[in-house]
Amino acid sequence: MPDTTVYNPLIDWTDIPVFDRIDVSHIEPAVRAVLDRSERRLAALETDRPDTWAGLMDELERIDDEVSRVWGVVSHLHGVKNSPPLRNAYQTLLTDVVKFGNRMGQSRPLYQAYCVLRDSAEAIGFEPAQHRILDSAIRDAEFNGVGLDEEKRKRFNEISERQAELSTRISNNVLDATKTFRMVLTLPEETQGLTDSLRELAADSARKAGHSEATAEAGPWSVKLDMPSYLPFMQYSKRRDLREKLYRAYVTRASEGEWDNSALITEMLALRREKAELLGFPSYAAMSLSRKMAGEVSHVEKLLDELHRAARPGAERDMEDLRVLARFSGAPEADDFEHWDTQFWAERLRESRYNISDEELRPYFPLPQVLRGMFDLAERLFGVQVIETEKEVPVWHEDVRYFRVVGPQGELVAGVYLDPYSRPEEKRGGAWMNVLVGRSRVMAPPDHPVRLPIAYMMCNQSRPVGNKPSLMTFREVETLFHEFGHALQHILTTVDYGPAAGISNVEWDAVEIASHFMENWCYDPDTLRNLARHYETGETLPDGTIERIRNARIFREGSQTLRQVNFGLFDLELHDRFKEDGMETVLGVQRRIDQETLILPALEEDRFYCAFTHIFAGGYAAGYYSYKWSEVLSADAFSAFLEAGLDNEQEIRRLGRKFRDTILGLGGSIHPMEVFRMFRGRMPSTEALLRQSGLVS
């Protein structure tokens, strides 16, 4: 057994980890020591079978928290500091971590103790959070196979271990396929149409790849598949042949060679179906939805069908608008339109229709100013201040920043890390929020009533280049607000029971409500004036430009909604009806759903599903619809502010506090539909979202 008397920065921390001292060599000793200690504590708990909340549930929270705080840091570093040694250490220990989780989740003595506690006299006086936690513990044990016989439980565990391995391999393959591709441009004519900021970024990328002489003016320029590089190239490059090359590389990521995910995904789907059948469900989707707000597959299908019918006419008009503009401009692709033309002509149409472009807006959205404006909004709505710490805090990369969240009386409420920039060589793509530690009375440090929550906010936006700060696209601003919404739900919780605090125990299709809600404020004129200032002159964003941004909100919304419907239907079909039996493949399902939903037919070689990590390596399996489901609720919640009048400061502050006290504050202590009703006073409606999206008048 490892010697735990030796200092190990993965274990020996109270407030925050000493990230800059954590080495790969610390991982295995730390994880094995924690698993060994937790196993002994778990065995003792099974023997004692306490029948009180303090004896049973509080002790289980301590056991689970110790494993989560160590393995959580390892998992976090695996996502942001990925390297072969770290990857190997993670993979070596993953099976043991999964085994312990299964061991804990399948404990029949604990399951029996839950049931005894639920039916005890003590339970009569439980708070709503305690009832929800206990009911979830019973349900989770059943979903972990506690009722299976020995043979089926053995198979269940084999499936869980293999699923964890597949998820990691799928994610790593996408990371490797993305970071390996480079399109190096050496001739000035290959950069026709590219913006100055993209030339600078591409030259900087080339220098990091070994072209030390690269400059924005003379090149060479390296274009990659991460979003800050890929998207602006597709929007601005006049070289249609190069757009085609980049697009084909993007939609075939992780679909061939050593990083081919296709067989892994087929196996993952088969394992998910088998696990669901072991638990008595007809499909993985049925099992997954039984623990979500939607409840049933038919409810999700109804939502997606409603959105499909509302969005398709607009999407067809969107495509015709692009063809008309290309034809008007004399472009040869007008009568031979392809996917690599869509972003380019969409950006030209947006410039023409609204007289705005990402490049025009970037100088007004330097990251420091956007953060100030976003934090000012949090103070206005929720009464908290977000302040960057003045003392040096250990971080995993020099770009990372740490903020303290302070309440109305100056009391410390929470902490937030921000890792804003793209690092495709080691950091997975996309944007996400994750938890370092959650609010908890049981896990409170000595002489403190409660442990305060700390969140990670991860983005992949454009880096600072030269003397310029990170100049953000408007979409990157929206993404930052989105992740801040997730973080707010974690850090502003008022629940002291760890298993129901923040986003814990919140149904998966409700976790996007706060994030979409915060995105809405990016279109509020006062908020925009505060967060948008020119990085050189300090000039605020002109009112005319603000109005054009607001008008452009519904630009191509039919196409964007149809894209989300496409993803949602594909995910649902794979996890509800699909079965690999020779009749249809995963690719066949993708093509069939594409034919039903896309305006422009997909390429023959399109294998986007091989890089669809949301559902194959993330938490959105049979749940991708959650984005739109939550968007319905968030749009309806934001409509309360619109009805009050965004210039009615007193009422906006009152509603902000009410939103904080309900949707942000109550976490998983109450069912999210009831929490929504507490805020809105009624059940949600799709009308607000359809109006906001311009899909109805």
Residues noted as catalytic: 483
Structure tokens at 299: 């409810």
CA distance 386 to 412: 10
CB atoms within 10 A of CB 265: 24
Structure tokens at 647: 């210039």
Evaluate whether 214 touches 250 at the Cβ level (below 8 Å): no
Q: Which residues pair with 417 in a beta bridge?
A: 402, 456
Q: How far apart are the first and last CA of the chain?
A: 67
Task: Using DSSP, state whether 534 is helix, strand or coil.
Answer: coil
Closest alpha carbon to 167 in 281, 67, 286, 267: 267
Q: Where are the beta strands (DSSP E) in 305-431?
A: 385-388, 401-406, 412-421
Q: Is 261 exposed, middle or buried (0-12, 13-18, 19+ CB in 10 A)?
A: buried
CA distance 198 to 185: 13
Phi, psi of 46 (to 5 degrees): -65, -35
Task: Using DSSP, state whether 177 is helix, strand or coil.
Answer: helix
CA distance 354 to 548: 6
Structure tokens at 270: 């088969």
Distances (CA, A) of 7 to 29, 95, 230: 11, 25, 44
Chain center to CA of 574: 21
CA distance 454 to 16: 9
Closest alpha carbon to 515 in 554, 491, 493, 488: 488
Structure tokens at 351: 């410039």
HSE-up (13 A, CA, CB side) for residue 599: 25
- Sign (positive/negative) of CA torsion 552, 521, 528, 197? negative
CA distance 638 to 236: 34
Phi, psi of 344 (to 5 degrees): -65, -50
Query: C-alpha angle 572/576/578, rounded to 5°?
Result: 100
Evaluate whether 443 touches 451 at the Cβ level (below 8 Å): yes
Tokens 């003590």 found at: 122
Evaluate whether 122 touches 53 at the Cβ level (below 8 Å): yes
Tokens 């999206």 found at: 693
Sequence-distant (≥ 6) Cβ neighbours of residue 643 within 8 angstroms: none
Evaluate whether 155 touches 276 at the Cβ level (below 8 Å): no
Phi, psi of 663 (to 5 degrees): -65, -40
Residue 542 DSSP code: P
